[in-house]
Chains A and B, each alone.
Chain A
Amino acid sequence: MPVAEIAPQLSVRFTEATLDYQDRRVWGDLSLEFDEPSFVAILGPNGSGKTSLLRVILGLTPLSSGGVEVLGEAPRRGNPGIGYVPQHQSFDQDLPLRGRDLVQLGIDGHRWGIGRPSSAARKRVAEVIEAVEATPYADAPIGRLSGGEQQRLRIAQAIVGDPRLLLCDEPLASLDLRYQQEITKLIGDWQRRTRRTVLFVTHDVNPILNLVDRVLFVVNGRWAAGTPDEVLTSERMSDLYGSHVDVLRVHGRILVVSDSTGSGFELEEPHHLPDIHDGPGPHARSAP
């Protein structure tokens, strides 16, 4: 019966899920599901539990109550169906590790033993490095590459195992605008080509606005989910924050601004605005 093929594959389902941390409610009564394929932006201010949400899906943090289902099963550590791109943190300059080694770790780094990569694994690593256009610098010490180059290799590492679900935790943070655009395009292209699901944690929705089809916004232990147009409105945001909030659309970008200074949260970081028309800019790629 072709029904099974037509039925959408469930990526993640939360059922009345609640997470407490040291007597504090991080978020509560979260009930939602994402089917394949989706590109989901997980938004919210710092400390609102976005990373915790990913850790629950990864099986690293248990829920306080409620249920969660990941790719049709209970979350478990090291689920091979999940790829993970962390926030960009520079590698040490002298670390004896090449980009190629980093990607290789994405295939078998969790296995015991010394391990010599098979020729099939090496070929797969080379393919993925080529797919993210990192071949020219894949054999240089990874700590000597630019932030954008390192992040490309991290994406290669995350997708080398052909995951069904790609979790990205602020992958654009501390990258300049040109690299933000490159990395966004890379993840977006992968998602469209493979028709898999991406959960993309970010404090700024604008770089990925044209890719996103669902938004999950978490703040003060509460949440809202839906399409960007449903969720990112003054009414929904004011309700969520519990105070008056304006959602402004300026030049196709979204800004969430609170009228009480200090407690406000801006989705857009103002210092990015002047860069938008600059194009590739002067940040020359540092050739290894």
Chain B
Amino acid sequence: MDQLIHLLGYPFVQNAIAAGIVIAIVSGIVSRFVVARNMAFAVHALAELGFTGSAGAILIGVSPVIGLMTGSMITAIFIGTLGVRVRERDAVVGVVMAFGLGLGVLFLTLYPHYANEAISILFGTITGVSRSDVVLLVAIGALTLFALAVVYRPLTFATVDPEVAEARGVPVGALAIAFLLIMAAAVAEAVQVVGVLLILTLLITPGASAERLTARPGRAAVYSVAIALTCVLGGILLALVTNIAVSVYVTSLSFVLYLGSRFLVGPTLLGREQRRPDLGS
């Protein structure tokens, strides 16, 4: 415990925690929509092509966070415009992802001293983020949360009930593309903690766990954020004390929380909600 308090004095730890809080809030909310819209595969593609983007950025000497963001944004636009119908979406994601990863391999070969950066992007290095990265991540996170707040209600409508939403004038197609861009930003954020390969632990698991705990949309968002915060902050602190990679703890924590939500807490909480119909809210 003393050791932990001592570590909290270090700027790199404070940076990691500040970035972690923003990243967890964004991930918690975005993951609910990722689950409800069945977009796990798209998230994965955005992350992997974010890797290509950051590999390219390092090659030309730009911040990898910006490269990551650019890579996943371009992918989001491709998927959004080519995969309009649900059925063709997965195919388009696969097509774009394969080509993009090929580019990533090319960048790796062109830049010989790349191994360390590559590992950190693939598996996450939140404790390695600099002060300027933190500022960038907080800015991206704040923008993402703002965008989410603006589209929250119509996006919910378009997600759970697309036909009626369209009939009521909700721009369902435009929102699908807007959400892909929001997802791209969330991916760029979450990659900092868990890396490209483990992205789903933050962009699927919190939302999937939350919907096991409640049938109320607002409450599900709160639970999802709480779970993401527990995973990210718990992961950072445990990693500091034990010197094992953050992503190991984040993935383990999120897996345990999912199992707990699904089999231990969820059935009781859901049952209680339904026994006492609340006429007010």
Q: Which residues of A contact B214 (CB under 8 A)?
A: 96
**CB-based contact A60/B166 at 8 Å:** yes
Q: Which residues of B contact A33 (CB under 8 A)?
A: none
**CB-based contact B157/A109 at 8 Å:** yes
State whether the Cβ of A105 lies closer than 8 Å to any Cβ in chain B. Answer: yes
Contact with B along A82-104 (1 / 0, CB 8 A): 10101001010011111001100
**CB-based contact B160/A95 at 8 Å:** yes
Identity of the chain B residue whose Cβ is nearest the Cβ of A78 in the assembled complex: B169
**CB-based contact B170/A110 at 8 Å:** yes
Least CB distance from B267 to A in Å reads 12
- Interface segment among B103-111, B121-129, B271-279: the answer is B271-279
The one of B36, B154, B277, B281 in contact with A109, judged by C-beta atoms closer than 8 angstroms, is B154
Find residues 148-184 in chain A having any chain B CB closer than 8 Å to their own CB: 154, 157-158, 167
- Also in contact, A111 and B154, with CB within 8 A (given A98-B215, A126-B279, A139-B277): yes
* Distance between Cα atoms of A111 and B149 in the complex (Å): 12
The one of B36, B150, B166, B280 in contact with A95, judged by C-beta atoms closer than 8 angstroms, is B36
* Distance between Cα atoms of A135 and B278 in the complex (Å): 10
Interface centre among A79, A91, A112 (most CB of B within 10 A): A112
Q: Which residues of A contact B164 (CB under 8 A)?
A: 84, 86, 105-106, 154, 157-158
State whether the Cβ of A113 lies closer than 8 Å to any Cβ in chain B. Answer: yes
State whether the Cβ of B101 lies closer than 8 Å to any Cβ in chain A. Answer: no
Q: Which residues of A contact B215 (CB under 8 A)?
A: 96-98, 139-142
State whether the Cβ of B270 lies closer than 8 Å to any Cβ in chain A. Answer: yes
Q: Which residues of B contact A139 (CB under 8 A)?
A: 215, 273-274, 277-278
The one of A114, A126, A136, A158 in contact with B152, judged by C-beta atoms closer than 8 angstroms, is A114
Contact with A along B153-192 (1 / 0, CB 8 A): 1101100110111111110000000000000000000000
State whether the Cβ of B48 lies closer than 8 Å to any Cβ in chain A. Answer: no
* Distance between Cα atoms of A110 and B162 in the complex (Å): 11
State whether the Cβ of A47 lies closer than 8 Å to any Cβ in chain B. Answer: no
**CB-based contact B157/A101 at 8 Å:** no
Identity of the chain B residue whose Cβ is nearest the Cβ of A86 in the assembled complex: B163
State whether the Cβ of B212 lies closer than 8 Å to any Cβ in chain A. Answer: yes
**CB-based contact A113/B277 at 8 Å:** no
**CB-based contact B161/A102 at 8 Å:** yes
Q: Which residues of A contact B217 (CB under 8 A)?
A: 96-97, 101
* Distance between Cα atoms of A283 and B82 in the complex (Å): 44
State whether the Cβ of A226 lies closer than 8 Å to any Cβ in chain B. Answer: no
The one of B150, B160, B277, B278 in contact with A97, judged by C-beta atoms closer than 8 angstroms, is B160
**CB-based contact B157/A113 at 8 Å:** no
Find residues 121-156 in chain B having any chain A CB closer than 8 Å to their own CB: 149-154, 156
* Distance between Cα atoms of A111 and B170 in the complex (Å): 8
Identity of the chain A residue whose Cβ is nearest the Cβ of B281 in the assembled complex: A122
Contact with B along A120-153 (1 / 0, CB 8 A): 0010001000000001101111100000000000
State whether the Cβ of B24 lies closer than 8 Å to any Cβ in chain A. Answer: no
- Also in contact, A105 and B152, with CB within 8 A (given A110-B169, A139-B273): no
* Distance between Cα atoms of A32 and B22 in the complex (Å): 58
State whether the Cβ of B202 lies closer than 8 Å to any Cβ in chain A. Answer: no
Find residues 58-79 in chain A having any chain B CB closer than 8 Å to their own CB: 58-60, 76-79
Identity of the chain B residue whose Cβ is nearest the Cβ of A141 in the assembled complex: B215
State whether the Cβ of A115 lies closer than 8 Å to any Cβ in chain B. Answer: yes
Find residues 244-281 in chain B having any chain A CB closer than 8 Å to their own CB: 270, 273-274, 277-281
What are some 27 contacts across the A-B interface (CB < 8 A)?
Answer: A60-B167, A78-B169, A82-B167, A84-B167, A84-B168, A86-B163, A86-B164, A101-B216, A101-B217, A102-B160, A102-B161, A105-B153, A105-B160, A105-B164, A109-B161, A109-B170, A110-B157, A110-B168, A110-B170, A111-B154, A112-B151, A112-B153, A113-B152, A113-B153, A126-B279, A141-B270, A158-B164
